Amino acid sequence: MAASDVATILRLPGLLVKDPTSLASVPTPEDFRTAATIFGGAVLGVLRGVETRWVIRSRNVAAEEWGGAAAERLYIGESLVVAAILRNFDADTLSAVFPKTSAGATSGARVVEQDLSSASSRAHVRPAHRILFVPVAVETAPLVYLPAARALPEATARMALGLEEESGIGCVWQASPDNAGLVYRIALREDMTL
């Protein structure tokens, strides 16, 4: 095992991109401030912070001959959760995270609502999106790619209530396997494939 190096800890500003299509063109610093699309996908707003957390599932195997003590631990699988705080009211993110949104009648701004008057609103399944975290230091820091990410509005609400510094819009994405079985990929831009 390599020695730990605190210089390799990643605490980077960046952007979340929904449904990227190509990593060919490298975004400029100006793109991070003004672009609506990066890598062919929709930019989901200005981020205050991003956390990547692994969700590892395992089970104990009990040994009856030892009184039910755990004899082994089986690895069952893993997933990844990406959570971020958005510093602006971003319509694309709200539409992607929350089950039902619409344009405001007067302002045109995104309205998040819940309407229980129809059966379809009670059993609404959120589609998976391809989500890519793009650090501002895109040439030297790894990108995080979730090929079939599903938004977790309930986790988003809990995260927003825990903010102590400033108001923000939380967005939490849970990695799911795509059609090829890929759950997530973390790599430098030149090694990343979509």
- The predicted model scores a pTM of 0.73
Tokens (6 digits) for 72: 């082994």
Tokens (6 digits) for 84: 């971020």
Phi, psi of 123, deg, nearest 5: -125, 60
CA nearest neighbour of 51 among 3, 102, 9: 9
Instruction: With respect to residue 81, please indicate whether it lies within any of the assigned structural domains.
Output: yes
Instruction: With respect to residue 10, please indicate whether it lies within any of the assigned structural domains.
Output: no
> What is the model's pLDDT at position 33?
78
Quote the CA–CA distance of 50 and 60 in Å, as a whole number. 32
Instruction: With respect to residue 4, please indicate whether it lies within any of the assigned structural domains.
Output: no
Best-predicted range by mean pLDDT (46-50, 133-137, 187-191): 187-191
Instruction: With respect to residue 76, please indicate whether it lies within any of the assigned structural domains.
Output: yes
Query: What residues make up the domain containing 115?
Result: 19-191
Which residues 6+ apart lie within 8 Å of 185 measured at CB? 144, 145, 147, 192, 193
What confidence tens digit (pLDDT) does each residue in 58-116 have?
Answer: 888 888 888 888 888 888 877 888 888 776 666 767 777 766 667 777 777 767 666 55
Instruction: With respect to residue 12, please indicate whether it lies within any of the assigned structural domains.
Output: no
Instruction: With respect to residue 2, please indicate whether it lies within any of the assigned structural domains.
Output: no
Q: State whether residue 34 is helix, strand or coil.
A: helix
Output the average pLDDT for the chain. Answer: 77
Q: Is residue 20 scored above 90 in pLDDT?
A: yes
Best-predicted range by mean pLDDT (2-6, 18-22, 127-131): 18-22
For the stretch 19-38, what's the b/e string if a residue is b when 16 or more beta carbons lie within 10 angstroms of its beta carbon? ebeebeeebeeebbeeeeeb
Tokens (6 digits) for 128: 């998976």
Of 149-158, 173-182, 183-192, minimum mean pLDDT range: 149-158
Phi, psi of 122, deg, nearest 5: -80, -30
Number of domains in the chain: 1
Quote the CA–CA distance of 151 and 133 in Å, as a whole number. 14
Instruction: With respect to residue 3, please indicate whether it lies within any of the assigned structural domains.
Output: no
> What is the model's pLDDT at position 139?
87
Quote the CA–CA distance of 152 and 88 in Å, as a whole number. 19
Q: Is residue 163 scored above 80 in pLDDT?
A: no
DSSP letter at 31? H
The sign of the dihedral angle between the CA atoms of 47, 172, 57, 143 is: negative
Q: State whether residue 188 is helix, strand or coil.
A: coil
